[in-house]
Structure 1
Amino acid sequence: MTLFKKKKKPLQKAARKLITVDNTKSIISEQFRTVRTNIHFSTADNDLRSILITSSSPSEGKSTCAANIAVVFAQEGRKVLLIDSDMRKPTMHHTFRLNNGTGLSSVLTRQAEIADVVMDTAIENLHVMPCGPIPPNPAELIGSQTMKALIEQLKLEFDLLVFDAPPLLSVADAQILSNECDGTILVVDTGSTEKDSALKAKETLQSANARILGVLMNNYALAKDHYYYQYYGTSE
């Protein structure tokens, strides 16, 4: 069953640098592929179809990580949809130079169809659903039956859904959505995230019965002037 027709749109290069596209042989790109491999290992007996990427606080790099994780899964040959579910401070339309006139919020408020908001990218197998106009009630839309139905519809068309969600300790959106996704990855900035904030974020996910796949350590100093991303196994 096909939910939308293939659209012939001009494909633009990403406006923001995606290391997994621009430098596939870098140590950072390799770490993102390690993230992908570890996700496979952590879900060997289950069909993982949706992943939520979030953080405890703003500016920890979760949107950049979400985009690069979506890219490495697409490079593997899976048909991936990256969904900007941060309906407070969306960024994916900037990253991929897309029109944000319609998007997720438009579908949830029944002002657009799925076919109108799923965008092609220059990266093979990777599609993006931008946020759309910022609504006055993001949490209500995220927790609606319409959102649940949308996720099930999208799973008919795509192999993997990757959600970029708002920070956990700022608003309730990510906590609500984590319960609807097959797995959640918590991004932690090793240079700025406080331990108490990371632990509180973990507890917030656990209270929502989210399946925490692991923690992605962002901006970890490997050596002078070198940084990499490291993924650790299932959190307990």
Structure 2
Amino acid sequence: MRRSANNPKLIMNINRRSPISEGYRNVRTNIQFSSWKHKLQVMAVTSTQAGEGKTTTISNLAVSYAQEGKRVLLIDADLRHPSVQDIFHLTNSTGLSNILAYQCSADEVIRVTDIDHLSIITAGPIPPNPTELLSSGRLHEIVESWKGDYDIILIDTSPIMAVADGIIVASICDGVILVVQAGKVKQEYIQKSKERLEHVKAHIIGVVINKKKLNKSESNQYNYYSHRE
């Protein structure tokens, strides 16, 4: 059954002509230009700490790709504080944690919304051992199996500085986007997040600066995307 995705946070779905939506399209375009050297089919979106807007960013990015006609799978791999289900008005009784624990198949938890081409796997019940589940190798195995069914796979992760979960997920992805809330995070923490990602050889493709205060000349922009080779 399709569920309504008319959430104010999903600006890409409710107002495609807004300046904010244009910002997300700019992020998508920059990702596409950055993929000429590296195939970017599986991407993680993370942040240094909680509350920086990573889930809102990845959800709108997923909608942006779907509106382009891409077959998109959005996975909530933040097994400690999942929130994708709230944005898309989905139940979270079963999800990724069940798949990782071999309690059900992927077909049983893939959800659809009223957005064409977009499928979602919520995080599922919060497990007692999220790091162990994510590092077991099962996630990499099932993501590889989904590559033939989807053009783009986007994975929401736990913040980098909080626990090791985000690093584990990033290590199996083709690229990682770091969301940073302007004025909230110390520069040294951002640098440590970058170093942790590089330590596992994660490919950082860019940074999205969220909630940046704009002057009048920047009023048509919402996200600033910093490309990194």
TM-score with structure 1 setting the length: 0.92
Q: What residue is the counterpart of 2:225 in the other structure?
A: 231
- Partner of 1:222, secondary structure, is coil
Picking from 85, 101, 104, the partner of 2:93 is 101
Asked if 1:172 is matched to 2:197, the reply is no
Aligned length: 227
> Is residue 220–residue 227 contact of structure 1 (8 Å, CA) maintained in 2?
no
Q: Percent identity?
A: 40
Asked if 1:48 is matched to 2:40, the reply is yes
Q: Find the aligned partners of 1:59 and 1:218 in 2 and give their Cα distance.
A: 11
Return 5+ residue gaps in structure 1 as ranges: 1-8
Per-residue deviation, 1:10: 3.4
Per-residue deviation, 1:62: 0.5
Return 5+ residue gaps in structure 2 as ranges: none
What are the residue-to-residue correspondences of 1:32-111 with 2, within 5 Å?
32-111=24-103
Asked if 1:131 is matched to 2:123, the reply is yes
Asked if 1:118 is matched to 2:116, the reply is no
State the Cα deviation string for residues 80-119 of structure 1 (Å, max 9, x = none). Answer: 0100000000001111111111100000101111111110
TM-score with structure 2 setting the length: 0.95
Q: Find the aligned partners of 2:2 and 2:25 in 1 and give their Cα distance.
A: 28
Q: Find the aligned partners of 1:122 and 1:85 in 2 and give their Cα distance.
A: 22
- Give the aligned residue type for 1:211: H
C-alpha spacing 1:153/1:27, structure 2 compared with 1 (3 Å): same
> Is residue 44–residue 177 contact of structure 2 (8 Å, CA) maintained in 1?
yes
- The RMSD of aligned alpha carbons is 1.5
Asked if 1:209 is matched to 2:201, the reply is yes
Q: Find the aligned partners of 1:214 and 1:17 in 2 and give their Cα distance.
A: 22
Per-residue deviation, 1:121: 0.9
- Partner of 2:183, secondary structure, is coil
- Give the aligned residue type for 2:34: S
Per-residue deviation, 1:61: 0.5
Q: Find the aligned partners of 2:39 and 2:48 in 1 and give their Cα distance.
A: 27
